[in-house]
Structure 1
């Protein structure tokens, strides 16, 4: 595939670009503190300057506690353009060959890895060895084995590993979780998660198993997997699943088009979920309990998230989810706070184990027992 070859070629290209300021410039250093509180900001290097990184970077301009201080990319032109746009000096711009040098950069606390899934494992381990915290976009890896190695590497290096679960900080989502914890819905019986969209370019990396590690399930289905866990408030103990593939030319071996899967929980609650690259108009969560219900539609898009419960409409104000995520992660990494819904590496590893069990259930056409 041309897109894959182009990406791999860029990984090896050296960086270029000019900078107007350096590490010790007063104009640069003034950006590293929160002007309102005088507290240090989380200094973040973005790795992989694609479309989602662009969304993160724009949202971070509204952050009070986090700032972009480094860039890592295989495209010299992006490093120059982004460096000038976000005031990142030349010495804080790296390529995929030399980014281990961040170990010597005091103006980087953490690296946000936003590259294709198959690259997360090695990049996380390199960042950890450089002594920097890791924020890794989901899925955390392409296998549970890789995920465990990432968790272990970060622990060994004494750094934290967080996963980009932006919905864990979304206000309407958190309100539903709070209501469930308060008992407003009574005993939870059922959750439904619909996650999917009609994917476009057949040559993109998301349809390349070597880079993506799968298909719709690992990309968009993970929202229903993770959502089932935090909405029900339990860890699943079994899974069943069925796959449908209508276009084997576009969705080749190992790249799933549509999977329906069911999760069972210790309390007896069940979840019924759909993950697809072949349908639009989905993105819906529904939680049902003995006393009431909650629904979110859209549930996991970039917002605003909308929904209601049997008691009220969900009307929390919308702020870019990545803004909320990065400010919250700054508190986690700098202050040791604990979020209402975990975003650590262990959380990401649980989702990887469930993904593997779903694929196994498809292959074996039987219920698979889960041990998370």
Structure 2
């Protein structure tokens, strides 16, 4: 597998379903006939790489979100995407003139899917242009940058969301529902991990200047975020260890990291992430009354799960379709947010910073400062 995209692009069957964010976390998804209402969230994609292509295809089945604009530094991509998705020339921009988007009333939000270390710069640009922002995870290189991004969006009066698609995925939401309803009892332990074998040694994800970090930044945030929604708590300490089997390929970024999160209730989550091997994707939460296991747990699908009651039967869906419709519903209809704002991204980045600090200090326990 040559990249995270290759690993994750075991895309689900993509059934059209209603936006999950319009439902409380305690509800299941019910498929509905496709109907596109007049009120739409008009979205421009910034960064036309592989993941943007997945999002664009998924948006063809959205009810409330529609692709209307493009931002790219590659003119040939703009030309190809304009034709494929019927995007007017006036809604296309490059990285130098993206500020001009402020004068375009036909675009409501920009979805940033550029390399990780560009997120900070691009979010500030879009916020200054007065457009709502959706940014892929990891939100930034560190918590300091994330706070600056949140402040910029607040100052501009625009919404700021992070691409936590799992918060809209039916199996994940059922796990959260069961935990909140007390069906698992007192949470006792969490074990989860996310990783894959990285291929091309020249890809941007292995260059610190573009990626910000390695496996931990790229896919370790799935394990981290999963531990947080599996427990419903925020970690108060972390210990972490790093290992490398290929110090040449992974000279600039981390290859494999294991980390442990301690929560106020006493629960410990054992987590891991890697760029070194495949078949590394699981979320297992154990309570004193039951359990939930998702495996695969974080990829594009199909997500599969079982509980102490038997196999889970949630619908197989295209995550990005639900995510985009869900965020559109939040903005257009003032619906509750299922923990996908910039603040959610900040909570993860605070812990990511602590993970790297623990590694620098030889695996020392780091107490998390949320200030």
Alignment of 1:276 onto 2:279: no
SS in 1 for 2:239: strand
Match of 1:100 in 2: 99
Is 1:143 aligned to 2:142, yes or no? yes
Deviation at 1:335, TM superposition (A): 1.9
Once residues 86 and 112 of structure 1 are traced to their aligned partners in structure 2, the CA distance between those partners, rounded to angstroms, is 16
Aligned twin of 2:366: 368
- The answer for the alignment partner of 1:28 in structure 2 is none
Distance between the aligned counterparts of 2:137 and 2:205, measured in 1?
13
The equivalent residue for 2:355 is 358
Query: What's 2:17 paired with?
Result: none
1:13 corresponding residue in structure 2? none
2:155 is matched with 156
Cα distance in 2, alignment partners of residues 74 and 179 from structure 1: 45
Compute the TM-score of the two structures, normalised by the length of structure 2. 0.89
Equivalent in the alignment of 1:50: 49
The equivalent residue for 2:125 is: 126
Paired position in structure 2 for 1:24: none
Residue by residue over 1:266-325, the C-alpha shift from the partner in whole angstroms, topping out at 9 and shown as x without a partner, is: 011110011100010111110001111110000001011001000131111111000000
Note if contact 2:297-2:303 (Cα within 8 Å) is conserved in structure 1.
Answer: yes
In the superposition, relative to structure 1, how do residues 95 and 234 fare at CA in structure 2: closer, same or farther (>3 Å)? same
1:292 corresponding residue in structure 2:
290
Structure 1, residues 130-172: CA drift from partner, whole Å, max 9, x if none?
A: 1100000000000111100000000000001000000000001
Could you tell me how far apart the structure 1 residues matched to 2:267 and 2:184 are?
13
Unaligned runs of 5+ in 2: 1-33
Task: Tell me what 1:203 maps to.
Answer: 202
- Verify the 8 A CA contact 2:142 2:349 in the aligned structure 1: yes
Report the Cα distance in structure 2 between the residues aligned to 1:257 and 1:108, rounded to whole angstroms. 39
Matches of 2:274 and 2:136, distance apart in 1: 20
Residue equivalent to 1:310: 308
Give the SS at the match of 1:226.
helix
Q: CA RMSD in A?
A: 1.0
Q: Could you tell me whether the CA contact under 8 Å between 2:69 and 2:87 is conserved in 1? A: yes
Q: CA deviation at 1:87?
A: 1.0
Give distance in 2, aligned partners of 1:264 and 1:337. 32
How many angstroms apart in 2 are the aligned matches of 1:188 and 1:76?
52
Moved beyond 6 Å, runs of 4+: none
| Paired residues for 1:165-184 under 5 Å | 165-184=164-183
Q: SS of the residue aligned with 1:69? A: strand
Count of equivalent residues: 336
SS in 2 for 1:107: coil
For 2:280, what is the secondary structure of its paired residue?
Answer: coil
2:89 maps to 1:90: yes
**Structure 1 unaligned blocks of 5 or more:** 1-34
Are the counterparts in 1 of residues 36 and 64 from structure 2 also a CA contact under 8 Å?
no
Distance 1:333 1:38 in 2: 15
Check conservation: 2:150, 2:343, Cα contact below 8 A. Answer: yes
Question: Which digits, 9 at most, give the CA deviation of each residue in 1:227-266, with x for residues without a partner?
Answer: 100111100000001111111100014x100010000000
* Counterpart-to-counterpart distance in 2, 1:288 and 1:39: 44
* SS of aligned partner of 2:120: helix
Distance 1:37 1:278, change over 3 A: closer
Q: Scaled by the length of structure 1, what TM-score is found?
A: 0.89
What is residue 345 of structure 1 aligned with on the other side? 342
Is the radius of gyration larger for structure 1 or structure 2?
1
Please tell me whether the aligned partners of residues 191 and 269 of structure 2 are also in contact (alpha carbons under 8 angstroms). Answer: yes
Displacement after TM superposition at 1:37 (Å): 6.2
Give the Cα separation in 2 of the matches to 1:107 and 1:188: 47
Q: Which residue in 2 is equivalent to 1:256?
A: 254
Give deviations 1:28-47, integer Å, cap 9, x for gaps: xxxxxxx9464311000000
Match in the other structure for 1:19: none
2:3 is matched with: none
CA distance in 2, matches of 1:38, 1:121: 33
